Amino acid sequence: MKWCRYQVGDKISYGTIEGDTVTAVEGSPFDSYTETSNSQPLSSVKLLAPVIPATFYAAGINFKEHVTEMAHKRGEEPQFPPAADVGYRAVNAIIADGEDIIVPNDATELVQYEGELVVVFGKKCRKVSEKDALDYVLGYTIGNDVSERTWQRGDRTMWRAKNTDTFKPMGPWIVTDLEPDDLNVKIRLNERLVGDYDMSGAIFSVRHYISRMSQYLTLYPGDVLWMGTDGAPENMKDGDICEVEITDIGTLTNKIVWEK
Amino acid sequence: MKWCRYQVGDKISYGTIEGDTVTAVEGSPFDSYTETSNSQPLSSVKLLAPVIPATFYAAGINFKEHVTEMAHKRGEEPQFPPAADVGYRAVNAIIADGEDIIVPNDATELVQYEGELVVVFGKKCRKVSEKDALDYVLGYTIGNDVSERTWQRGDRTMWRAKNTDTFKPMGPWIVTDLEPDDLNVKIRLNERLVGDYDMSGAIFSVRHYISRMSQYLTLYPGDVLWMGTDGAPENMKDGDICEVEITDIGTLTNKIVWEK
């Protein structure tokens, strides 16, 4: 099943997608909903980010090659995370599939993509086991954890490095009933393959993250967990098109626009 | 003017407080509202946290004595922040005035208060000057940035150290038209004064934080910014009562309950 959030005129709805058709629901997949008879071609609506989370979690560092390559770029030895300690991103930065990533004019050239699997929670959960963890997931979407590396290294926090407005593209929709460990992520910059990794290579799995987080905190419907990226990202320039494709979900596509 | 959010039966409303009376509004102070004739004694309603922010900002390190004392406890030299780089907290952890701070049974004894001024935004803002920054503030409330120091030092992020469920008491209400630099913060543990500082001693002012943040990101109505704490906090034990009092706002009071 494929869920989206979209806008027609001033009206914002959640909807289900079958083939090239979107059908509106009243309500949302995060509480209760009823189907409507209001269907239209997917191409005739504006897709929005599929959810605005109450809390926006991000694994951050969760793949060995990414840790190793980023450490080498800084001239340091890689340090793998000893535990699934989650981080945070901010909703001000979220944009939808097809919207532009606007880079502030005082950014350095080190503005990079990080293509990631996004877990979207569907039910409230607290203190769940790894075995039961996926029961609380509505589905999966795609994220691009855009990062300005100079700010990431120099600032005390990652506030502007990762949470400048437009730096968190997410979408295009949410797909249910996937096995996260089986998914593959491909990243393309101007149609050139620049990243290709399997979620099975994650240091900590989706099930492990959910179970560990839920020992201390309550996860709510609509919360999201971005799972981190692998590989060594390249810089993006003004006008570049970045695509993140994940098996059985689709492709998230955004253009880089450097502020004049 | 004093704004609160409260519950009677199943109904949650925003309201204004005058003396000992709360009057409900339709809508909220963050978009549009109309006054109602529905008034009742403040003591007859359950106060909720006065806002659930879309993004929950926290200055973190923003007072010299706090930086110095915390560094000395770790056997390190103090490092003052060179810039107003903001951090994040998470809404799962928010509780209201009078609710219990529940400490997980695997926490160490280093569970400490941090009494803080909270800025509540009332208007959307982007790229504002320090001079105009306060025009976007609805008002001010009180926060207790409860922190488990062992997790804060040992984990890769502050997820459970600062965002375990119930670790972010906020309230009791929002007061408008204050000058933030003139406010004083007093912290009491079981009625003993354990912290007393002036906001004029902050390394970076409210105006400076808002202006700097807004150069890179959009602040939205209902977003909150916790301003950091001064001094060297003490540990809190099971059954302790922690109070944070700020000039012209009031007192935020919460009990510590250690999970069995």
Q: What is the pLDDT of residues A143-171, one digit of tens each?
A: 999 999 999 999 999 999 999 999 999 99
pLDDT in tens for each of the 260 residues of chain B? 999 999 999 999 999 999 999 999 999 999 999 999 999 999 999 999 999 999 999 998 999 988 898 888 888 999 899 999 999 999 999 999 999 999 999 999 999 999 999 999 999 999 999 999 999 999 999 999 999 999 999 999 999 999 999 999 999 999 999 999 999 999 999 999 999 999 999 999 999 999 999 999 999 999 999 999 999 999 999 999 999 999 999 999 999 999 98
Residue A74's pLDDT band, with cuts at 50, 70 and 90, is confident
Structure tokens at B184: 């004083």
* Cis geometry, peptide bond prior to residue A82 (ω within 30 degrees of 0): no
Least confident of A67-71, A182-186, B241-245, B254-258: A67-71
CA distances to A146, A166, A245 from A188, in Å? 14, 19, 8
DSSP at B181: G
Torsion A81-B59-B164-B113 (CA) sign: positive
Contact between chains at A54 and B55 (C-beta distance less than 8 A): no
Co-location of B78 and B21 in the same domain:
no
In total, how many domains does chain A have? 2
Q: Taking CB atoms and an 8 Å cutoff, what residues of chain B touch A126?
A: 165
- pLDDT at B235 (0 to 100): 98
Q: Is the pLDDT of residue A63 over 90?
A: yes
Q: Do A91 and B55 touch (CB under 8 A)?
A: yes
- Per-residue pLDDT, B69: 86
> Rounded to whole angstroms, how far apart are CA atoms B181 and A67?
43
Query: Per-residue pLDDT for A138 more than 90?
Result: yes
Q: What is the CATH number of the domain that holds B239?
A: 3.90.850.10
Whether A225 and A204 have beta carbons less than 8 Å apart is answered as no
Q: How far apart are CA B96 and CA B241, in angstroms?
A: 14
Contacts of A55 (CB under 8 A, 6+ apart): A88, A219, A220, A223, B90, B91, B92
Report how far residue A199's alpha carbon sits from residue B143's, in angstroms, rounded to the nearest whole number.
39
Chain A residue closest in CA terms to B52: A54
Predicted pLDDT of residue A104: 98
Residue of B nearest to A88 (CA): B88
Give the pair of three-digit tokens for residue A246.
Answer: 């994940």
Mean pLDDT of chain A: 97
Residues B157, A90: C-beta atoms closer than 8 Å = no
Nearest partner of A246 among A186, A178, A177, judged by Cα:
A186
Q: Tell me, what amino acid is at B225?
A: L
* Helix (H) or strand (E) run with residue A59 in it: none
Q: What is the mean pLDDT of residues A52-64?
A: 95
Taking the CB of residue A110, how many other CB atoms lie within 10 A of it?
A: 18
* Token output for B164: 């375990």
Q: How far is CA B174 from CA B46, B86, B170, B224, in A?
A: 15, 22, 10, 11
CATH code at position A8: 2.30.30.370
Q: Give the pLDDT confidence of A31-40 residue by residue, as tens digits.
A: 999 999 999 9
Would you say the C-alpha torsion A28, A29, A35, A41 has a positive or negative sign?
positive
Q: What is the least distance, in Å, from the CA of A86 to any CA of chain B?
A: 6
Are A157 and A58 contained in the same domain?
A: yes
Q: Three-state SS string across B66-108, please?
A: HHHHHHHHCCCCCCCCCCCCCEECCHHHEECCCCCEEECCCCC
The helix or strand, by DSSP H or E, that contains position B31, with its residue range, turns out to be none
B20 with B144, same domain: the answer is: no
Which runs of consecutive H residues, i.e. helices, occur in B74-216? 149-154, 159-163, 206-214
- Chain A hits for B152, CB-CB cut-off 8 Å, are none
The candidate with the shortest Cα–Cα distance to B176, out of B121, B94, B228, is B121
Vertex A95 angle, CA A106 and A170, to 5°: 115
pLDDT single digits (tens) A190-249: 999 999 999 999 999 999 999 999 999 999 999 999 999 999 999 999 999 999 999 999
Nearest residue to A243 (alpha-carbon basis) of A196, A186, A198: A186
CB contact under 8 A, A91 and B219: no
The closest of B112, B135, B121 to B86, measured between CA atoms, is B121
**What are the backbone angles phi and psi of residue A257, rounded to the nearest 5°?**
-125, 115
Q: Is the entire prediction scored with pTM above 0.90?
A: yes
Interchain proximity B54–A216, CB inside 8 Å = no
Report the distance separating Cα B129 and Cα B131, nearest Å: 5
Which amino acid is present at A72?
H
Percent pLDDT > 90 in chain A is 93
Nearest to B25 by CA among B17, A103, B146, A37: B17
pLDDT of residue A73: 84
The whole-angstrom distance between residue A64's C-alpha and the CA centroid of its chain comes to 19
Residue A172 makes CB contacts below 8 A (sequence gap 6+) with A4, A47, A50, A96, A97, A98, A141, A142, A250, A251, A252
Asked whether the beta carbons of residue A91 and residue B218 sit closer than 8 angstroms, the reply is no
Residues in chain B, overall count: 260
Domain range enclosing A31: 1-48
Q: Is the pLDDT of residue A62 over 90?
A: yes
Asked if residue A64 and residue A41 are part of one domain, the reply reads no
B216 and A86 within 8 Å at the Cβ level: the answer is: no
Amino acid at A109: E
Whether residue A41 is found in the same domain as residue A153: no
Clarify whether residues A250 and A182 are in a common domain: yes
Given the structure tokens 């998230």, which residue do they identify? Answer: A252
State both tokens at A14: 């959640």
Same domain for B4 and B101, yes or no, is no
Does residue A219 contact residue A210 with C-beta atoms inside 8 Å? yes
> Which residues in chain A have Cβ-Cβ distances shorter than 8 Å to B126?
165
Helices (H), strands (E): how many in chain B?
A: 4, 19
Nearest to A233 by CA among A185, A189, A167, A172: A189
Tokens representing residue A94 in the block: 């979220």
The reply to whether B141 and B197 lie within a common domain is: yes
B164 contacts A217? CB cut-off 8 A = yes
Task: Please give the Cα distance from B252 to B245 (Å, whole number).
Answer: 6
Per CB-CB distance under 8 Å, the chain A contacts of B85 are 155-157, 159-160
Of A60, A164, A217, the CB nearest to B92: A217
Residues A121 and A171 in one domain: yes
| Chain A contacts to B (CB-CB under 8 A) | 52, 54-55, 60-61, 81-83, 85-88, 90-93, 104, 126, 155-157, 159-160, 163-165, 213, 215-220
Q: Does residue A65 share a domain with residue A43?
A: no
Residue A166 sits in the same domain as residue A246:
yes
Residues in chain B within 8 Å Cβ distance of A81: 156
Residues B74 and B31 in one domain: no
Q: Which residue has the tokens 């280093």?
A: B110
